[in-house]
Every structure is written in C-alpha cells, then in structure tokens.
Structure 1
C-alpha cells in the first residue's frame, strides 16, 4: 500500500467513532440527499435487471438502511478496517468488507447500481481513471451510479486537521467538469446533476450526480 493510501486508511480508522457520533442519523435531516438517493433507487429498480448495489466507500454503513427501504440490496466496501468493523456491528443485516475502490471485490457486470457518496474525492488525478473504470467494470450495462462530492477547483487540500485528532489526509474539492469528464471517459452518460449551496457550517458547496453506464463495446 502506498503511503498516501495508508495515511488515508489510518485517518479513517480514527474517524470511525466521530462518524458514528455525528453522522449516524444525519440523513434524516438532509432531504436533498435523500431525494438524490431516492432518484438513484428508482432508476435502478426501473432498470429491471435487479437491485444489487455497491456502496463504495461506505464508511460506517449509514446509507445501507435507507437504500434498503427504497427496495435495494446494498453491499458496502471501505478502505478502513475500523469503518467496516463499526458497519458490521451497527448494521449486521448487511454485508460489508474491506476493499480499495481502485480494485473492487465484485465480478464483472455483477451490480445493478453503485453509490459513491463522498468517497471518490480522496483520489489523486492519476488514480481516478482506474477507479472510474472499476465502476464501469462491475456495473451491468444500463446500471446507474450516484455520486456526492465536495465542489471546488480541483486543487489538492489537506483534510482532518481541524478535528484536532492528530490526523491528516489528502482531499480534492472537485469541479463539475472534472467529475463529468471522468464519467464520460469511462463510458457513462450523466442523467442528473445538482449543486447545493454550502450550509453555514460547511466550507464549500456540495455536488450530486447520477450517471448511466452505456452499452459495452464489442470484444
């Protein structure tokens, strides 16, 4: 594991307890995020191929119950072993495992949808092609991805320091152009886009995107 990835994993091991304390029920207070996830769920179900979805960078597993209530069957993966331990403890009815989103533990065309909720923003530009390619690999043609991210100018920033927990990690506030280009290059078509202005306790606006995977090129 490269030093940057190891630093990110170790930081999120520390953050697991913070996420449980601050984020466990926050979706109940976020109608916009529920609406985007609901749209994603409707598109997956209406696709008619199945309801298996991967929650890529699932953290403590907090989205799994909501996705389940919308008729989906979520499976979570996260880089942090502690995040996965907490997810398995708090949401024992769902499968979770440790994995790197650049090498997903799913077979080709095995998923009907993927959620990438604030998880792709940690990747440096040179690793994004592999990650977006993995999303396309594991999805069935016509499958959908829902992504949430912090919007900005694509510049590298350092996260975690303001929490005074002795951690730090690289993070990118990504532009709409960068995100849409990565999906297009990986064979997706963007079907929904939204931006939410920053709340008083946030430093940046939030971006939301839903994309559909196109047909696979002939071998």
Structure 2
C-alpha cells in the first residue's frame, strides 16, 4: 500500500466514530441527495437486472438502510477497517467488507448498480483510470453508477485538520467536467448530472452524476 493510501486509511480509522455521530441522519437534512439516490434506485430497479448494488466507500454504512428501504440489496466496502467495524456495529443487517476502490471484491458484471457517495474525491489523478475501470467491470450491462462529489478546481487539498483529531489526508474537488470525463472514458453514458451551488467561500459546490453501462459493451 502506498503512503498516501495508508495515510487516508489511518485517518479514516480515527474519524469513524465522528462520522457515525455527525452523519447518521445527514440524508434527512438533504432533499437533493435523497432525490438523486431515489432516481438511481428507480432506474436500477426498472432495469430488471437484480437488486444487488455496491456502496463503494461506504464509510459508516449510513446509506445501506436507505437503499434497502427502496428495494435494493447493498453491499458496502471501504478502505478503512474502523469504518467497516462501525458500519457492522450500527447496521448489522447488511454486509460490509474492507476493500480498495482500485481492486474491488465483486465479480465481473455482478452488480446492477454502484453508489460512490463522496468516495471518489480521494482519488489521485494517477489512480482514476484503474478505479473507474473497476467500477465499469463490476456493473452489469444496463446497470447504473451514481456519484456525489465536491465540485472545485481539481487541485489537491489537505483535509482533516478541522476535526482536531490529529489527522490529515489528500482529497480532490474535481470539476464536473473532469468527473464526467472519467466516467465516460471508462465506458459509461451520462444519464443525469446536476449540482448545488456553494453556500460560502470555504464550502464547495456539490456535484451529482448518474451514468449507465451500455447493454452491449462498445468496441475497444
């Protein structure tokens, strides 16, 4: 494991309990995020390809009950063992495993959809091709990928200090155009994109992107 990945994992091990405390009811306060997830759920179920979806970068597992309530069967994975421990503790009805986004544990074309909720913001440019290739690999033809991300200028940022827990890590607030390019370069087709403007100079805009894997793979 490279140094940046190790730093990221160690930091989120420290942050796990804080995330569980602060984000447990976050969706209740975010109607736009619920609407995007609802669109993903509706389209995924309408594809009639099954109900198994991946929650990649699941953190403390807070999305699992919501996805299950819509009729899907989520399987969460996260880089941080402590995040997974908290997810298993707080949402024992669901499956959670430690895994790297660049090497997912799912079989080829085994999922009808994947949710990446603010988990792609940690990908360095050099890792994006492999990561989006993995997402494409595990989704069934005709299935969907949805992501929420912080929209910005794409430059690396140092985060974590504000938690006052002695951790720091890199993240990237990508432009919507850059995020869409990564998705389409991997072979997906954009279905929906949107965003919410920043509410202050130190707060980024929120971006949302929903894409579909073609029923028949395009020629490579």
Coordinate RMSD, CA, aligned: 1.3
Cα distance in 1 between the residues matched to 2:73 and 2:193 = 24
Shift of 1:198: 2.4
Q: Which residue of 2 aligns with 1:180?
A: 180
Summarize the alignment of residues 4-19 of structure 1 with structure 2, pairs less than 5 Å apart: 4-19=4-19
Summarize the alignment of residues 16-165 of structure 1 with structure 2, pairs less than 5 Å apart: 16-165=16-165
Q: Which residue of 2 aligns with 1:216?
A: 217
3-state secondary structure, aligned to 1:146:
strand
Structure 1 residue ranges (4+ consecutive) displaced by more than 2 angstroms after TM superposition: 198-202
After superposition, the C-alpha distances for 1:179-204 in whole angstroms (9 at most, x for unaligned) are 11011110000100111122459611
Cα distance in 2 between the residues matched to 1:202 and 1:42 = 34
Shift of 1:26: 1.1
Cα distance in 1 between the residues matched to 2:164 and 2:146 = 31
After superposition, the C-alpha distances for 1:135-174 in whole angstroms (9 at most, x for unaligned) are 0000001110110000001001001012211100000001
Cα distance in 2 between the residues matched to 1:147 and 1:13 = 23
Cα distance in 1 between the residues matched to 2:96 and 2:200 = 33
Total equivalences in the alignment: 219
2:209 is the counterpart of 1:206: no
Cα distance in 2 between the residues matched to 1:85 and 1:184 = 34
Cα distance in 2 between the residues matched to 1:68 and 1:94 = 9
After superposition, the C-alpha distances for 1:67-116 in whole angstroms (9 at most, x for unaligned) are 01111100000000000000000000000000000000000000000000
Cα distance in 2 between the residues matched to 1:195 and 1:140 = 27
TM-score normalised to the size of structure 2? 0.97
Cα distance in 1 between the residues matched to 2:156 and 2:200 = 23
After superposition, the C-alpha distances for 1:4-33 in whole angstroms (9 at most, x for unaligned) are 000000000011011011001111111110
Cα distance in 2 between the residues matched to 1:174 and 1:14 = 25
Cα distance in 1 between the residues matched to 2:89 and 2:22 = 17
TM-score normalised to the size of structure 1? 0.97
The unaligned stretches of length 5 or more in structure 2 are: none
CA contact (8 A) 2:187 2:218 kept: no
